[in-house]
A and B are shown apart, each in its own frame.
Chain A
């Protein structure tokens, strides 16, 4: 008995009769005719050694859900992990909109048949523009690492200079990406930070800055959670040397924290994951770059910039690519860096988030996070031997907890917390050896007073 051919639900023309008729229509004996140009020497002769498939949907679901069940999500635990990927509440409407097949399954459509995509992304740019008080925002790039790297390269091209100065508090992973990405054309130099406050060492900055400095970069808030209170002065130092002031921000802080343009920022960058996008095990990132509407800066963006225009009908908006000739789509390697598929749907999602939150929501959320953080800091400082670092400096949502005086390592503390169903903060001992046994904790609006009390109690027990 011959094996019945499988008709695959995803492959309509796998039905044998259809296949036969189509082959006949094109005068082909078999599908082999289409591969006649592939030399025998490179033909794969065997059958791929892959697991046997789950042909039915129900079997597939059972298999994949079985794998997923081995994960324990932050919804089932109490997590204080952050470090650039943070647990915020994702409103249901965000998931509803980005699940719609019209958006989810479209691609790089044109302004006519995919008008909706263009408008939604223009609105994303526009709402980010309000949050940042800036007139130009790009269609998202892959992530905040990429947007920072590109912002620094833009500064290099604009100034014709080759050095970027970064605070030594930048996340080492991010620094790795930045160094790699800038390597052929720019050097990265780190500027020391003050061990007591975390803030940038301004004397060091003044010594390092010179006529080769393309950009002075800071993060607000920093990777270690504190706000760089000297930002305005740093911007002035950068500008006095003819460098651009590039600032990384957590956009969710901007309901209460001043956007960088107000203290001298020329190019602003960051990651929009906090704005209505699930963490996805680190797969929920998208990067933004923003600037003033200065032609000199705009022409250095590699990304797509969707602009609004009139149409032949009164009262109708149309959209299209602004200054397309800068892009690699238009002129290949003669364009600025490259542009390609990146993270557009997360941009649409962040737009939905900002529209839902509105001005009041962003302000309430920001203030509430800072209140929870202060409460957590106060509670943890009451635990014997535990203290929070850089406490004289204001913070937004992350902070460093110092376990050096407890005689316990962060690894030991986190193991004890895990046994109580708590994900403790990120161990910083490898990234910042000078801090010793410190951990980076993240507090957001998802945490209740009871959660923070539970944490303090668990840490007290773990460090006893």
Chain B
């Protein structure tokens, strides 16, 4: 049969894209993995030992006491390989990473592009399949990477020594506090120095990790301009002060210009100063920890130095210290004798181990490769564009109805801004959290900021160097649209999200011991009750 075709003469024009993305997240309606189990299915087959091995071994359970013999196989799902893969591939599609979204809404976390080439390099079996106890002659490559990365971070921070052992940022904070504690103990002042001072706008782990290390925590509130209150610091310092743990710029994005006075005041009473450089992205090559007089500092390599955030780790932390604090660095250190790289375990004053072995090697390799792809000028460009992007986005966000940037009115910010929707909440009853849910409807991520909410109805945006002007414009358009909705149709926000994988979660069970369920087995058990 002949097919009749209609003559158009020209292709039909596609209308321009609307200002807002008509996004809908994947909704695979995927069951819990146990519900996919089919008795007898196999995902991988472990290699069977050879017959001679089996025969020689005999009954390997014959000398196990009954109490150590497993009575029934673990009730894991039984699935074919494709079905395991498909389940996780679908779950991955119900997730937004930097690869997919304009991830500026997770302020303080420095969401940036993690170059794929570095992932490829980190997947080499020459790294993945190294054992940490191999003879040094067989691991010279990775030791060289670690040694040189330490050297580059020394230059970037101005510090004398660097350790790459901590597993992430909070672990690095803890390592710094442990070194500070050891420093004071070595000087016979361990018993006297019982207090650590931090600030409201520093990461919560500063206070929390120092408390684990045995310190009483004093938190400086912000002054009227948003800076940590210097008068409060004056009142707080004493011969009991072990250290000041401070971020700069803080999570407000405001650089504290009196930081040297803070450091000097703490030094004057014999305390040390630790610089949480989680927010270093906007100041690489602009100002350094050492220049402001800090004794120790730390970087989050998964933030500033581009290693992927991996749904919350593995990450990597790096601590920089002055030579006075160096004897207390975790063991071992990576050294070079002019010919070969080696690990130095002979460190009598060391705080010992912060984690097994020497650090999160794949991320150390990625951070090394990232710096080597940019160099001094590139790092400076990272900082400057991060600051430019931030001020550009702030300029546009502050045009939106109901939002403000508390403190330091009219001043520039460095790499992020903590905004407040207080006005919008007062006007409309819509909360920052609901704005976040609605942002998800347009294919982006939005995070509520750290507790406690010193800034009411907070939103923290950190547009790193990775985002284009159009990305920033898009994010501002989304926020503007949502703010308008709040004023005209708040119900759409109260019921958000609408285009997400799932709908409104019933939160009540999470705080009720009879209803919460951290595992599928607990859920099944509690349902039956």
Contacts and interface: CB of A to CB of B under 8 A. Distances in A.
Contacts of B117: 57, 60-61
B71 interface: yes
B16 interface: no
Residue among A122, A324, A341 with the most chain B CB within 10 A?
Answer: A341
Interface stretch (B5-13, B229-237, B351-359): B351-359
Interface residues of B, number: 223
B506 A311 contact: yes
Nearest to B98: A105
B60 A374 contact: yes
Given A79-B131, A104-B310, A105-B309, A307 B412 contact: no
A313 interface: yes
Contacts of B291: 41-44
B337 interface: no
Interface stretch (B39-47, B266-274, B421-429, B485-493): B39-47
B361 A281 contact: yes
A69 B152 CA distance: 22
Contacts of A108: 106, 109, 309, 312, 447
Contacts of B79: 355-356, 358
Nearest to B357: A282
A84 interface: yes
B128 A279 contact: yes
Interface stretch (A162-170, A202-210, A238-246, A325-333): A325-333
Contacts of A115: 91, 94-95, 500-502
Nearest to B145: A67
Interface string B348-374: 000111111111111111001101111
B134 A283 contact: no
Contacts of B257: 37-39
Contacts of A135: 518-519, 521-522, 525
Interface in B284-336: 285-288, 291-292, 300, 302, 306, 308-315, 331
A259 interface: yes
Contacts, number: 744
A452 to B, nearest CB: 8
A338 interface: yes
A124 to B, nearest CB: 10
B450 A329 contact: yes
B132 A37 contact: no
Nearest to A28: B391
A31 B387 contact: yes
B510 A368 contact: no
A281 B519 CA distance: 32
Contacts of A271: 356
A337 B204 CA distance: 11
Contacts of A457: none
B409 interface: no
Contacts of B507: 309, 320
Contacts of B60: 367, 370-371, 374, 394
Contacts of B129: 73-75, 87, 278-279
Interface string A126-155: 111111011111011011111000000100
11 contacts: A41-B291, A50-B376, A71-B140, A73-B128, A85-B133, A104-B308, A104-B311, A121-B311, A153-B212, A356-B44, A449-B52
Q: Which 5 A-B residue pairs are closest in the complex by CB-CB distance?
A: A184-B214, A282-B357, A53-B375, A340-B170, A282-B132
